[in-house]
A and B are shown apart, each in its own frame.
Chain A
């Protein structure tokens, strides 16, 4: 299973953190620090795999964002690269030519998409279309609520 998934920028700023095992807050901060240091310190044409404690670390850079995950030792690293890639594709489809700013300003949506793709550290859906349709439907449910409410649109969603 995947133990965690982190997204961080070239300067080491965290943009998303998903933890699939219970980790104390202080430990999370330490892991994030370790990951950013290790990954940002890699030479440009190194391979995408690292070892850290008893986990395999798989990372990939997309534009200005690093996608970094920690896996159990028996996981398939090459497939993990495909998992990261699929997540990027899903974000890209949702936001249309996704960039780091999209994820900064809409981090909650990035989480929602991730939660439709992975559950408990495992892939739950392998079809891009099915996944996109679920997200759309959830979003529409949200929209419907706001439309139906007595609120002035000023007060509505974040």
Chain B
């Protein structure tokens, strides 16, 4: 049997394949050769074959038949074999397969190996992919290595311990003794991984947190040394000494100082020092500043320090580097609730970011802008946000529209402004408005009683221009149905009333019914609107009853029946809707109202009363809601029940 081809040779060969099919053929051929080699239990070439298998696995081909071979390599005495074996284990095995448990014994032996690089391989593998069972079995070995004086092993053991704790949190206690003098280490690798370990323990256990609070002075000292010390070639990154360690210490300080006055006090000075002395010309300095700001904002820092932090973020916003701007916006979003006034000072810069070319920045700026809207700045902010809504990518429009509606609802300076803003959103981003906005808007409009004439006039004019945006059309139809009489009688006070006849209005609504642009839901709205106008206009006599859409057909037939058989009930049924109150927090999913105009009469025992639709069914059809009488009392429910009513 000739020697299996070498790894680099195989890579070279596979790369010459000109088509996917050719590549697949080469791979299959090589896999077959590798399989037979495995079957022959060849020790010499196992390493080479597994390495090739790993390459093919990276290209996307199955390599599960090599799993056991990895275990054999790990068990080998040769370092070369172990290196590839452990790599293979990390790439091909995972804790879902029972096979991985076979590694446990090998890892245990290797953790006690005489060569530190072998121990390192074992620690690395355990720390990357060790399952809970493996961690339970081997935690003791890791704990032992955590106490060694060999810094190469100690740093790896620390991170391995972190992994063990993540997998089996109950084992955290056993590592506590070993943490005793971790911070006295001079070696940066050990220091860094120790800080990571301490952070993990403090995050998971309030007791540990309390226990480790006493380390704050030591951490402050270490951080101070890093900043004050001169150039250290081993750890220098663009003039800053070990930024990785600095950031991790800052993060641990954040956790220790949170909700504790004394600790926060003890770290005040060093935070101010880092915030003012760190070089900001490169990303690395800004990374440290960023972490410092996060820490200042999270602990119980004095107000001067907090203002310093927000100002750093403000400066970040003006930085040329997009990443820095993005990070500033994200941080400001986190602090806007607690330090609202300080963030408000940077409002204009934030609003400018709405015009940034970067999509991620625009999104953050939009979220932050909405968070900053208040009663004082509503007019100015809304102008900017509406402009943004006009020009932004479609992916933002839905969220922006919802945000505008929410902000308008909370802070509208006047009802007219509110209606105008809603109109503006519906006309510019009408197709992106969320479905649930339509009932919300209708509810808002009914509440602005004095604006009904103005609203219906504006909506009517908008319909004349454009009937393609469904939410706009739906809201308009509903309003015209309710307030069409105001429209025709020209009662608008807010602006010049338009001259429009009943026929013109009905033409527009009928146009919606037949238009290809209208969805079935929209057609339902316009049909019901026409129906309601039958009591307000004199010219509606009956409803055309045939339509392909089942829903429309049903409505039309029922409305027709209303005209023919129950005409005496029609005016009462189609009366102006009462002002709706929201009973649920997400809008009119359950709206129960009486308009107080009829006393409930004696219930008819022959006909059992109809129950209100359960909420979930009403939401499923969040379009028009009808009022009709059952046994003298009023129920507001979905008109799906209409046919049941007619059967009584």
B115 close to A141 (CB less than 8 A):
yes
Pairwise interchain contact B235-A126, C-beta atoms closer than 8 A: yes
Give the docked Cα–Cα distance between A116 and B193 (Å): 13
**Interface hub of A20, A23, A78 (most chain B Cβ within 10 A):** A78
The answer to whether A158 touches B323 (Cβ under 8 A) is: no
Asked whether B127 is an interface residue with its Cβ less than 8 Å from the other chain, the reply is yes
**Contact yes or no, A145 B80, CB < 8 A:** yes
Which residues in B have some Cβ–Cβ distance to A below 8 Å? 3, 6-8, 11-12, 15, 44-45, 47-48, 51-52, 54-55, 58-60, 78-80, 83-84, 87, 91, 94-96, 115, 117, 120, 123-124, 127-129, 131, 152, 155-156, 159-160, 162-163, 166, 188-189, 192-193, 196, 233-235, 237, 242-245, 247, 251, 283-284, 286-287, 290-291, 294, 322-327, 357-361
Query: A50 CA to B363 CA in the complex, in Å?
Result: 11
Q: Which residues of A contact B60 (CB under 8 A)?
A: 14, 29
Residues of B within 8 A of A112 (CB): 83, 87
Q: What residues of chain A lie closer than 8 Å to B79, measured between beta carbons?
A: 138, 141-142, 145
CB closest chain-A residue, reference B121: A115
Say whether A158 contacts B51, CB under 8 Å: yes
Assess A122 versus B162: contact at CB under 8 Å? Given A78-B324, A129-B234.
Answer: yes
Residues in A lying within 8 Å of B, measured CB to CB: 14-17, 20, 22-24, 29, 43, 45-51, 76-79, 81-83, 86, 104-105, 107-108, 111-112, 115-116, 119-120, 122-130, 134, 137-138, 141-142, 145-146, 151, 154-155, 157-158
Q: Which of A43, A86, A107, A142 touches B58 (beta carbons < 8 Å)?
A: A107
Q: How far is the CB of B285 from chain A (nearest CB, A)?
A: 9
Q: State whether A124 touches B189 (Cβ < 8 A).
A: yes
Minimum distance in angstroms from B64 CB to a CB of chain A: 9
Once the chains are docked, how many angstroms separate the CA of A74 from the CA of B8? 41
Please indicate the chain B residues that have their CB under 8 angstroms from the CB of A76 in the complex: 247, 251, 287, 290-291, 294
- Contacting residues, chain A, for B55 (C-beta < 8 A): 107
6 pairs from A and B in contact (CB 8 Å cutoff)? A45-B322, A47-B322, A51-B360, A79-B247, A124-B156, A141-B115
A158 contacts B8, C-beta separation under 8 Å: yes
> Please, which residues of chain B bring their CB within 8 A of the CB of A154?
3
Q: How far is the CA of A89 from the CA of B316 in the complex (A)?
A: 27
Chain A residues positioned under 8 Å from B8 (CB to CB): 105, 158
Contact A126 B94 (CB under 8 A): no
Chain B min CB distance to A43 (Å): 8
A130 and B152 alpha carbons, distance in the complex (Å): 9
With a CB–CB cut-off of 8 A, which chain A residues contact B95?
22
Q: Are B58 and A17 in contact (CB under 8 A)?
A: yes
Query: Known contacts A50-B360, A78-B323, A126-B244; is A108 also within 8 Å of B6 by CB?
Result: no
Cβ distance A135 to chain B, nearest Cβ, rounded Å: 10
With both chains docked as a complex, state the minimum distance between the C-beta of B180 and any C-beta of chain A, in angstroms. 21
B7-A158 in contact (CB<8A): yes
CA gap between A111 and B54 in the complex, in Å: 11
A47-B358, A82-B237, A83-B244 known; 10 new pairs, CB 8 Å cut-off, are A49-B327, A76-B290, A79-B287, A81-B283, A81-B287, A124-B156, A126-B242, A142-B79, A146-B80, A155-B45
Given A119-B124, A120-B160, A158-B47 contact (CB < 8 Å): yes
Residues of chain B contacted by A78 (CB below 8 angstroms): 283-284, 286-287, 290, 323-324, 327
Contact B54 A108 (CB under 8 A): yes
Contacts of B360 in A (CB 8 A): 46-47, 49-51
B295 to chain A, nearest CB (A): 11
Distance in Å: Cβ of B597 to nearest Cβ of chain A? 53
Q: Whole-angstrom distance between the alpha carbons of A30 and B95 in the complex?
A: 19
Question: How far is A86 from B156 in the complex, measured between Cα atoms in Å?
Answer: 18
Q: Complex Cα distance A22/B192, Å?
A: 25
Asked if A14 and B58 sit within 8 Å, CB to CB, the answer is yes
A67 to chain B, nearest CB (A): 15
> B163, A120: Cβ atoms under 8 Å?
yes
Residues from chain B with a CB closer than 8 A to the CB of A47 are: 322-323, 325-326, 358, 360-361
Asked whether, in the complex, the Cβ of B152 is within 8 Å of the Cβ of A134, the reply is yes
Q: Is the CB of A20 within 8 A of B78?
A: no
- Chain A contacts for B6, CB-based, 8 A: 158
Q: Which residues on A sit within 8 Å (CB–CB) of B325?
A: 47
CA distance A129 to B3 in the complex (A): 38
Q: Give Cα A104 to B55, complex, Å.
A: 9
The answer, among B84, B127, B327, for a CB contact under 8 Å with A77, is B327
- Determine how close the nearest CB of chain B comes to the CB of A132; give it in whole angstroms: 11
* B189 in contact with A125 (CB, 8 Å): yes
B52 CB contacts on chain A under 8 angstroms: 158
Per the bound structure, the CA–CA distance linking A66 and B396 in Å amounts to 27
Q: A20-B128, A120-B127 are in contact. Are A127 and B234 (CB under 8 A)?
A: yes
User: Which residues does chain A contribute within 8 Å of B159, judged by CB atoms?
Assistant: 119-120, 122, 124
Residue among A29, A43, A77 having the largest count of chain B Cβ atoms under 10 Å = A77
Least CB separation from A28: chain B residue: B94
Name the one of A45, A128, A157 contacting B357, with C-beta atoms under 8 angstroms: A45
